[in-house]
Amino acid sequence: MPSCKQCNTGFEIADEDRKFYDKISPVIGGKKFAIPEPAMCPPCREQLRLTWKNERNLFKRNCDLCEKETFSIYSSDKPYLIYCKDCWWSDKWEPLDYGQEYDPNRSFFEQFNELLLKVPKFAIHQNNNAENSEYTTSTTRNRNCYLISSAGHNEDCYYGIFMPRNKNCVDCTHVMDSQHLYECVDCDKSYNLAFCHNVKDCSDSKFLYDCHGSRNCFFSYGLRNKQYMFRNKQLSKEEYEKKIAEIDFTSHSVVKKLITEFSEFRKNHTYLYYEGMNNENVVASDHIFNSKNCAYCFDCNNLEDCKFCGWYNDSKDSYDVYAFGYGNEMCYNSLEVGNAHNILMCASSWDSSFNLYYCFSCHTSQDLFGCAALKHNKFCILNKKYSKEDYEKKVSEIIENMQKNGEWGEFFPAQFSHFGYNETMANDFYPMSKEDVLKYGWKWHDTADEPPKADKIIPASRLPDKTSEIPEDVLNWAIECGETGRPFKLISQELKFYREHNLPIPHLHPDERYKQRLELRNTRRVYERKCAKCQSDIQTTYSPDSSEKVYCEDCYLKEVY
């Protein structure tokens, strides 16, 4: 069993993994270049990829081409040319102008980093079909949305992440096909919920955990097709409505107490060893649905023959890919790739691309090696154009050199990332201190919040307790987060949402609210554990040290149904 070169943990490389590496090993100029077995364990490999993904931090910055103010995932102190989305996609500049000759006497990664330092960056990963949704990133086809990311086809949604096809949802994480949700995590096809977690096909409820097909329920867990349940007890319609009417959900103090109580209350529940449905031969995974022959996949849908993937959808034959999929095949060790075939060790490249190796932000292209920002191109190396024959000869030379110095098959080094570790998704899933990050030779971004333009700053503790008592001019105030002291402002749309849904005004900064929702989900580490009922072996994201009663699927179904 090999040991991870980063954390020294032993990890398994299965025979099926070796078959996959052989299957995707590219043939160039008639010669097959074997993808080597990975030198790092799966969590460290994902951590490395995520050091290249800033998902939620946006900064004001001027476009370096049109000079108009824009929003960017790159802070103003980053040493890159940044183009707004209109300029980046335009024909006002030519990425091939930045082409450079490969030097066989130097590290490929060092030369690729030099290219990345020169080529203009896409200010924000946002589809052109967005409407009134400028403050969003990694998004497509959204309307009237604010500070959401990894989200598409949403309308009137604010402060959320991993959100496909929703309407009027606020402060949500991993919700889809839902409407009128607030502070919800891992919810699907639901309506008018608040403070719910792991819920499907539910409506008109608050404080639910692991409930399906239920409506008009409160403070309950493990429900299946129920109505008028109150603290897991069945009531009549009249009894339920009377009890609900006695609770003032507009009171911040009341709701804060309920959140604490519910966290303790649901510990009595029996937990399924993983979250997922309609899967076949799926192991060591969590939050995976409608998939077949997959392992170590998290937050995934409609996959087949995939392993070590995260936030990946509608794809097959892929290993070690984080985001996003939708038609991918034969992809490996990549970040944010979509609608693509045979994409190896690439980042932020999509739209009908194939045969890309070590490319960054390349689209609708084929047969590229070590390129950045190319569109509708082929047979290029380090942004320099070649004939097919010269391309294959030069790529063969580069790979042979990379094999000699141990670069071939590795993802881009973290020290060349465009972001500080604390700006990236890596810090969300694999948090590290600044001291430890710098020990690795990685980057850290120290920055102070830009002071909000406000008539006054008020501590959250001084806000009126009830929403009905909040004055309209609160929109002109900055509120100091009750946990971190960071100031934040409300937008008019969210204030309207709280009033219409009888909810309290938040006392925490949006980043702190996101952090607390993230803490409700298990980590992406898989542990060996025994079913608490039948003692059969299970692989689960619940640590053996955790106190939850975790059951295998057979025992869980008998318990719930």
DSSP secondary structure letters along 323-350: EEESS-EEEEEEEEEEEEEEEES-EEEE
Dist CA 81 CA 101 (whole Å): 21
Tokens of 484: 């971190």
Distance from the first to the final alpha carbon of the chain: 41
Choosing from 238, 272, 306, the residue where a domain stops is 272
CA–CA distance, 471 with 536 (Å, rounded to integer): 57
Q: What is the pLDDT of residue 126?
A: 82
Q: 183-212 pLDDT, tens per residue?
A: 999 999 999 999 999 999 999 999 999 999
> Is 253 in contact with 464 (CB distance < 8 Å)?
no
Average pLDDT across the chain, whole number: 96
Phi, psi angles (nearest 5°) of residue 514: -60, -45
Q: Which domain holds residue 510?
A: 456-518
Phi-psi region of 325 (alpha: psi -120 to 50; beta: other; left: phi over 0): left
The residue-averaged pLDDT of 462-466 equals 96
pLDDT of residue 453: 87
Q: Inform me whether the pLDDT recorded for 125 exceeds 90.
A: no
- Are 414 and 440 in contact, with CB atoms under 8 Å apart? yes
Please state, in angstroms and as integers, the Cα–Cα distance from residue 496 to each residue in 379, 472, 493, following that order. 53, 10, 5
Band (pLDDT 50/70/90 cuts) for residue 559 is: confident
* pLDDT single digits (tens) 42-91: 999 999 999 999 999 999 999 999 999 999 999 999 999 999 989 999 99
Q: What is the DSSP string of 494-545?
A: HHHHHHHTT-PPP-S-HHHHHHHHHTTS--S--EEEE-TTT--EEEESS-TT
Q: What is the pLDDT of residues 358-403, one digit of tens each?
A: 999 999 999 999 999 999 999 999 999 999 999 999 999 999 999 9
Residue 283 pLDDT > 90, yes or no? yes
- Structure letter (DSSP) for residue 370: S
Confidence class for position 448, pLDDT limits 50, 70, 90: confident
For residue 173, is it within any domain?
Answer: yes
Write out the DSSP string of 13-43: --HHHHHHHHHH--EETTEE-PPPPPSS-HH
pLDDT interval class at 219 (50, 70, 90): very high
Distance (Å) of CA 84 to CA 88, 382, 450: 6, 23, 21
CA distance 329 to 545: 38
Q: Is the pLDDT of residue 129 over 80?
A: no
Q: Which among 4, 269, 27, 288 has a CA at the least distance from the CA of 174?
A: 288
Domain count, the chain: 2
For residue 44, what are its two tokens?
């460290």
Asked whether the predicted pLDDT for residue 277 surpasses 70, the reply is yes
Q: Provide, rounded to the nearest whole percent, the portion of the chain with pLDDT above 70.
A: 100
Q: Is the peptide bond before 109 cis (omega within 30 degrees of 0)?
A: no
Q: Is residue 547 part of a domain?
A: no
Element (H, E) at 321: strand 313-325
Domain-located, residue 84? no
Single pTM value for the model: 0.95
Amino acid at 295: A
In a domain, 174, yes or no: yes
Q: Is residue 344 part of a domain?
A: no
**Is the residue at 378 inside a domain?**
no
The pLDDT assigned to 560 comes to 83
For residue 404, tell me if it sits in a domain: no
Looking at 518, 536, 554, the residue that finishes a domain is 518
Compute CA distances 111 → 108, 383, 461, whole Å: 5, 12, 53
Q: In this predicted structure, what is the pLDDT of residue 128?
A: 64
Quickly list DSSP for 82-95.
Answer: EE-HHHHHSSSS-G
- The answer to whether position 195 is within a domain reads yes
